Structure 1
Amino acid sequence: MHWAYRTAQELIEKHPNQDIFVCASGISPSGSVHIGNFREVVTTYFVVRALQDLGKKTRFIFSWDDYDRFRKVPKNIDQSFEQYIGMPYSEIPDPYGCHSSYAAHFEKEFEEALGIFGIDVEFIYQSKEYTSGRYNYHILHALKGRKEIYDILMAFKTQESSEEERNHFYPITLYCERCRKDNTEVKAFDEMQEEIQFVCSCGHHGTVKVMDANNIKLNWKVDWPMRWMVERVVFEPGGRDHSSETGSYNVSKEIVRRIFNHRAPDYVAYEFIGIKGNSGKMSSSLGNIITPGELLKIYLPEIILFIFSRYKPNAAFNIGLDEDVIRNYSEYERFYESYRNDTLGNEDLYDSFRLLAFTNNQRVPSFSQAAGILPLINFDVHILGDVLRKIGEEYALEDIMKISDRVEHWMKHWYPEKMLHLNQEKDMEYYEQLKDIEKRWLRDLCAVIQESEALSSDELMKRIYAVCHDEDHKVKKNNQKTLFGIVYKLVLDNTSGPRLSILIKTLGIEKALSLLDFSS
């Protein structure tokens, strides 16, 4: 059974009377959301899809933690933004000047990508929730239980607790009303008056009534369990860094039980994702990231989801942007064809397709096939359409472009090694090195090419295979391999290329013969 369906069934068994299954994920918009963060969302998404497939109502919420403090300026952001460190993301200007805030820029960038994936999610912006006063009662409750919260936190640490530290512990961030930074210190909390006295390093000081405040935020390990309780969350995944014995989940699990009198949601720990050839965890601040938007310029959305679905959350994997792209496309195309014909024969793979929101009835050209043709025709999508028609494949221009645009972006930006180029003249020096029988094969091939216009792709390929026929099957295979290598060398100066019938249809008779016919 696929891991998402197993998780969904466990949730149903644990909550037999649950009307709506609330599943959550969330990210802080500290910069562009990368595909490592995307795993947070897609893990929840697959469980939601499985619950729906099993007949359950769901609510999929995604929290933007945009009331978190700005901690570090990412490498791709102007370093002048250091002046905003300590302010909430939602109150910092957009470094690119196109959205209302720093947070909004990166939120909208990611939300647009999720829309392309067909992931329907309810976004919750924590800056709005906190400043609206929605959480004020729970903030007050946490402040009154601050010493017990301190004891819970210290139970997960190796250092000794102290009564003085305990008396001066406040589980909140307080943004200064004047400078809007969190460089504040709580001097006193009056439980009877329910107000806080604070002082800021900017010189401002004052008193704020908790129930009227719009500048107080709970610290992470208290904020997270508080929101579990408020939203009645039953499932939420978390990264490996939150999943250790003393990590955020176990701490928050205890806080939600003892402070907020609520049960922690079921939890799945997910491993990190890497970029093939690049060691270390992806980080927005380090700049070693690939965003979902960038990945969508290479892969169709359903293929990205399919790749993610095939790995259990606790399995790490790398995204390859080299030859892996063709392999991933070809694998998906092969598996989908079997799924569509009901011959897949693998339960996990079958469930992976069931989890996809896409109808999967769109017809697009093979990525590998398009990759072999497009560089030879200067990435002209109209010529690609003509070549595909010649080999008996008809597609709408819009569907061709879904693949051709991705092939072009991949080759030009990520894997130029795959870019094939036509030779401009006959390679006489190489031809003279061929054996007599190989030259005869080449002459016979040119005769086939002369008639290729009237042949279908399959018929043409049969005629090409027959050029170097031998009664011995093994010898025939070796002959064919040798002939193909000769053609690729003479036409592309390469050891490989597209299927010969497609290559010939792409070049046309005149161009093909100009590089392969040495009879004159």
Structure 2
Amino acid sequence: MIIHWADVIAERLKDHGPHTLATGITPSGPVHIGNLREVMTADAVYRALVDRGVEARLIYIADTYDRLRRLYPFLDESFREHVGKPLSEIPCPEGCCSSYSEHFLQPFLRAMDLLDIKPEVYRADQLYKEGVYLDAIKTALKKRDEIARILKEVSGRDVSPGWSPFDPICRDCGRMNTTRVTGFDLDSERVDYVCECGSTGSVSMRGGGKLVWRVDWPARWHILRVTVEPFGKDHATAGGSYDTGKRISEDVYNYPAPYPIVYEWIHLKGKGAMHSSTGLVVTVQEMLDVVPPEVLRYLIIRTKPEKHIEFDPGLPLLTLVDEFDQRRGDARALELSSIRQSEPFTIPFRHMVTAVQIARDDEDLLLKVLERSGYETSRRDEILARARNVRIWLERYAPPFVKFDVKEDLPQAVRNISPEERRGLGMLAERIEGKSAQEIHDEIYAVANELGLDPKKFFQAVYLAFLGERQGPKAGWFIASLDRDFVKRRLIEASVA
């Protein structure tokens, strides 16, 4: 029996609690499902620990005090002046939120709630401004040379002569990538700086700047008592952020580095790893528009963190939904993915794609279509929610050949079918009454065999009669979804065309 990866980690950790599992993302752009892997990995291990009776807490740190690194493709030219400023101090791109960082953070917080991820949320700008980092900043400034030596020993790179572990925010231009520390006073809790804009001055250690990333991360571990943290493989390279952070945490802050969980990227099929800065993303909300939250959880939780996920929002997404609904996957992954206790959804997503297109936007007709196919429709709200998912999937991700339109009149294309195929359509019209979807499907094969027809071509003739195309959804289930009187009339009409 294969034990789920989250349980393997929880078993290693269970005797060393209590635990604080930390996760954090910089809200510099749309938060995508690649970012979600970090949060979901932490949540899965958190749940596995709680299942074992281990005291644990899950925290989320939004790196709102990181600076805007460049003008991203999704920003207009007016944001060039804000490059180098903390995200929390930059105006909202659309004027709907209190800051740039909140504009991208708020949708992600709402998505986490829908995904039943309930961390304690911290904003880095607030932590700095409230003085939570104060002692860590003082320690870093005092031990600047020791930190520089660690960075050299671990990463192999020298820091510049004027390097400081603290980046002041210029009081005139608001940037932190153009300033240089010239001195500090621990008693007054002030840091002196010069800026490339020509400004000089001093700032408070309480919100007047922040620690550089390689120091901020281990300082955070100490401040928030982090014991477990997932992070991307870019931080796990030899001499990378985790290696330097581990040394700084242990040697400078006298705190053991947290248990590391390294995760691989989520790749968008045929395009590569997702990155907000390049615009190559599928946002969390975009995915929640097309699949239930449990399925999005399952997409990530079923795969070991060290393996990359090749994400294809086209047809493979339908398979993923049906795998979850039919409980055909890893039982523990399904359990960790579940949000509410409910009976499995029994209508295949692929059939919902057929039913929604037949019914168009008529909700009552949709339920009739599903009933004709033999499905129970008492869970109306869930069915209609899935129908909304399907409509958006069809609009955004469905390959063209999946889309169809049942023609109100006999398509002209039926003139291209052979006399024997027409005869077969007439025979089929007399054999569908009272039959199930599977029986209708089998009957199409039976008619083709009786008349010596190529089954593939006879199926094409059936599709031509209803859709005017040579392909369509699974024929038996498609026909069963339609009004039987309509089907019979159409097949007879096509047989004599």
TM-score (structure 2 length as normaliser)? 0.91
Taking a change above 3 Å as real, the CA distance of residues 371 and 310 of structure 1, as seen in their structure-2 partners, is same
Q: Which residue number in structure 1 is paired with residue 391 of structure 2? A: 408
Tell me which of 118, 122, 125 is aligned to 2:123. 125
Of 357, 377, 380, which aligns to 1:397? 380
State the alpha-carbon separation in 2 of the partners of residues 287 and 496 from structure 1. 34
Q: Report the aligned-residue RMSD.
A: 2.6
Gaps of 5+ in 1: 339-343
* Secondary structure class of the residue paired with 2:156: coil
CA displacement, residues 210-269 of structure 1 (integer Å, 9 cap, x when unaligned): 4xx321211111110011111111110111110111110011000000000010000011
1:54-109, Cα deviation, whole Å (9 max, x unpaired): 12222100100101111112211212111111111111110111110001111101
Aligned to 1:429: 415
Q: 1:370 to 1:464 in 2, by over 3 A?
A: closer
CA 1:444–1:246 in structure 2 vs 1: closer, same or farther (change >3 Å)? same
Q: 1:326 to 1:464 in 2, by over 3 A?
A: closer
Q: Map Cα deviations across residues 401-426 of structure 1 (whole Å, 9 max, x no partner).
A: 22111111111122251111224315
- Does structure 2 conserve the Cα–Cα contact (< 8 Å) formed by 1:387 and 1:506? yes
**Deviation of 1:38 (Å):** 1.0
Of 456, 461, 470 in structure 2, the residue corresponding to residue 494 of structure 1 is: 470
Using the alignment, how far apart are the partners of 1:351 and 1:302 within structure 2?
13
Deviation at 1:496, TM superposition (A): 3.6
Question: Residue 274 of structure 1 aligns with which residue?
Answer: 267
Do the aligned partners of residues 463 and 263 (structure 1) sit closer, same or farther apart at CA in structure 2, a change above 3 Å counting? Answer: closer
CA distance in structure 2 between the partners assigned to 1:44 and 1:330 by the alignment: 26
Q: Kindly tell me: are residues 118 and 73 of structure 1, through their superposed partners in 2, closer, same or farther at Cα, counting changes over 3 Å? A: same
Amino acid at match of 1:95: P
Q: 2:49 & 2:252 partners in 1: Cα distance?
A: 30
**2:227 counterpart SS class:** strand
Instruction: Report the counterpart of residue 39 of structure 2 in structure 1.
Output: 41
Contact 2:181 2:191 survives alignment (8 Å) = yes
Task: Report Cα offsets for 1:258-305 as digits up to 9, x if no partner.
Answer: 0000100000111111111213x3221211111110011111111111
Alignment counterpart, residue 134 of structure 2, candidates 122, 132, 136: 136
Contact 1:66-1:125 at 8 Å conserved across structures: yes
Q: How big is the shift at 1:466?
A: 4.9
For residue 138 of structure 1, report the CA deviation from its aligned partner: 1.3
Deviation at 1:483, TM superposition (A): 4.6
- 1:325-404 matches, within 5 Å, as 325-334=317-326, 336=327, 349-361=330-342, 364=345, 365-392=347-374, 393-404=376-387
Q: Residue 196 of structure 1 corresponds to which residue in structure 2?
A: 191
Q: Post-superposition shift, 1:507?
A: 4.1
Counterpart Cα distance in 2 of 1:296 and 1:483: 39
Shift of 1:399: 1.2
Q: Which residue does 1:510 correspond to in 2?
A: 486
SS at match of 1:186: strand
Maintained 8 Å contact 1:504/1:512: no
**Residue 131 to residue 305, structure 1, CA distance change in 2 (3 Å):** same
Q: Distance in 2 between matches of 1:88 and 1:257?
A: 28
**Is the partner of 2:277 in helix, strand or coil?**
coil
2:113 is paired with a residue whose SS is helix
Between stretches 216-225 and 168-177, larger displacement belongs to: 168-177
Query: Which SS does the other structure have where 1:329 is aligned?
Result: helix
Structure 2, unmatched stretches of 5+, are: none
Map of 1:284 onto structure 2: 276
Distance 1:441 1:192, change over 3 A: closer
Shift of 1:372: 1.3
User: Are the aligned partners of 1:363 and 1:399 in contact in 2 as well (CA < 8 Å)?
Assistant: no
SS of residue paired to 1:187: strand
Q: Identity over aligned residues, as a percent?
A: 30
Alpha-carbon spacing, 1:231–1:477, altered in 2? closer, same or farther (3 Å): farther
Residue 490 of structure 1: CA displacement? 2.4
Q: CA separation of 1:363/1:271 partners in 2, compared to 1, >3 Å: closer, same or farther?
A: closer
Q: Tell me how far 1:475 sits from its aligned partner.
A: 9.3
User: What's the secondary structure of 1:128's corresponding residue?
Assistant: helix
Q: Which amino acid aligns with 2:40?
A: V
Match of 2:175 in 1: 181
1:256 partnered with 2:249: yes
Deviates more, 1:93-102 or 1:74-83: 74-83
Pick closer, same or farther for the CA change 1:396–1:298 going to 2, 3 Å: same
**Alignment partner, residue 207 of structure 1:** 202
Report the CA distance between 1:467 and its aligned residue: 6.6
Equivalent residue in structure 2 for 1:2, among 4, 27, 37: 4
Report the CA distance between 1:509 and its aligned residue: 1.4
Match of 2:310 among 318, 330, 334: 318
- Do the aligned residues in 1 keep the contact of 2:228 with 2:259 (CA within 8 Å)? yes
**What SS class does the counterpart of residue 176 from structure 1 fall into?**
coil
Q: Please tell me the residue identity of whatever aligns with 1:232.
A: R
The worse-fitting range, judged by mean Cα deviation, of 392-401 and 404-413 is 392-401
State the number of aligned residues. Answer: 486
Alpha-carbon distance in 1 for matches of 2:335, 2:343: 16
1:75-224 to 2 correspondence within 5 Å? 75-159=73-157, 165=160, 168-182=162-176, 183-190=178-185, 195-208=190-203, 210=205, 213-224=206-217
Which amino acid letter does the alignment assign opposite residue 464 of structure 2?
K
Separation in structure 1 between the aligned mates of residue 439 and residue 75 of structure 2, nearest angstrom = 58
Normalising by structure 1, report the TM-score.
Answer: 0.87
